[in-house]
Amino acid sequence: MTYKKYEYDSFRIFAVETDQFKNCHIEVVFQGDATKQSLTESTFLSEMISFTSKQFPTRKEFMIRLEELYNAYLYSVTTKVGKTLLTNFVFDFLDPQYVTQKEYLQECLSFLFDVLMHPNVKNQAFDLKAYQIIQSHLKSDIQSMKENPTNYALRRSLQELFPNSISSKNILGNLEELKEISPESLGVAYEKMWEENYCDIYIIGNLNMDQISKMILKLFQNPVIKTHPNEIYVGNPKVRKCKKVVEEGKFVQSNLVVAYQMQDFIQKDYDAVLSVFQEIFCGSSLNSKLYQYLRNDHSLCYRIQTVYQKYDGALLIAVGLQSQHKDLAVKLIQKAMKEMAKGEFTDEEIEMAKKQLSFAIKMSFDNQNSIINNYVFHNLAKVPLLKERQKLIQEVTKADIMKLAKKLKLGLVYELKENGHEEDSSKGLK
């Protein structure tokens, strides 16, 4: 596996040459500032760009062309990462060595960059029919958000924990924001994307990357050079007191979220210590502290999940349970956290956590998306590359884990309560 970097005036190419896979993977990543207005609009825009194009103005024509390229696949992903908004256009195609057609590689690259640079726009407005289809899809997605109680509870927890922050905003937005977007405003947003967003291109496959970079340079016209700084970590104010929120939903069980704020973390905490901590505290092992206390010892819940919003500075513990068990579950979570801070875990648990993480990293080397994702965040937020991260994890000590646990401040207990129960008092919170 060989890694190369190519820098041009208005974009960069990061290339991983390997014969490990039978297909090639390209991601064109636009990086801009995450704002309330840009979230829904960028999601809408990315879907429009990857749905049709000026050359292939109907979805049928667009899909037929992908089939002609041996079932190549193009899609978009819009993600909020802290203060940054990433719009990824992802293109997968067959390794050219398996195709007899000599111009196959050229045709694949031409298709991708033609789609990006020549969208289905007329008089600075996107195609109305495509607009109506995408709008309908996004409307359904927004309306169905509450149907998944766990995801809904996690989103609401961020809104309650950081109410005035970009951390509380959802990438889909809401129906009111969706209604404000028009084919004309999408045309303006498209021009703004090119003018304000940084652009990086990531490639992995069995390709001559020097040749590929020259081909892209001819095909890809990105005229604006950006120099403004982009920040990723959200500097949310420190939580001083735990907030308690109860919201009722039409579900058969309650969803509890206990949220901790990461305070005064250093780079090592984010890059390695947090992962080891999480494996011991509530990881994939059946022997993790929360699994033992909530499931094995007390049979309180059906599901335990931890989600850490690294760039927003939050660790969320989501538990599915009956509402009458909420207070005990919160006390047990607090007990487990205090034990982590006091070092009440064994060297064997640390070693097991490191083995689990090492195995997960090894598995990442077998996945194109994981490899590219690692390079994206290496460039975006100085995340260590996989081999370096593996080494850093092995160097984590018990003292490191104890220090990290002490930096986690309980900020919120949120319950999305099932129907038919009286609100329980939340005792024992500190």
How far apart (Å, rounded) are the C-alpha atoms in residues 254 and 326? 9
State how far the Cα of 86 lies from the Cα of 38, in Å rounded to an integer: 11
Consecutive H or E run containing 219? helix 209-219
Helix (H) or strand (E) holding 281, with range, is helix 274-282
pLDDT for position 250: 78
**SS3 at position 98:** helix
* Contact between residue 186 and residue 18 where contact means Cβ atoms under 8 Å apart: no
Beta bridge partners of 202: 14, 27
Q: Return d(Cα 261, Cα 313) in angstroms, integer.
A: 6
The residues facing 266 across adjacent strands are none
| pLDDT for the residue numbered 419 | 72
> How much is the pTM?
0.90
pLDDT given at position 285: 67
**What was the pLDDT predicted at 295?**
86
HEC-encoded secondary structure of 58-74: CHHHHHHHHHHCCCCEE
Alpha-helical (H) ranges within 322-413 are 326-342, 347-364, 368-381, 386-394, 398-406
pLDDT 10s per residue in the chain (430 long)? 899 999 998 899 999 999 999 999 999 999 999 988 889 999 999 999 999 999 999 999 999 999 999 999 999 999 999 999 999 999 999 999 999 999 999 999 999 999 999 999 999 999 999 999 999 999 999 999 888 888 999 999 999 999 989 999 999 999 999 999 999 999 999 999 999 999 999 999 999 999 999 999 999 987 778 777 888 999 999 999 999 999 987 777 889 999 999 999 999 999 999 999 999 998 766 788 999 999 888 888 778 889 999 999 999 999 998 889 999 999 999 999 999 999 999 999 999 999 999 999 999 999 999 999 999 999 999 999 999 999 999 999 999 999 999 999 999 999 998 875 444 434 334 3
**Is the distance from CB of 260 to CB of 330 less than 8 angstroms?**
no
**Parallel/antiparallel/unpaired status of strands 243-248 and 408-417:** parallel
CB of 18 within 8 A of CB of 205?
yes
Pairing label, strands 84-94, 254-262: unpaired
Residue 199, helix vs strand vs coil: strand
CB 303 within 8 A of CB 154: no
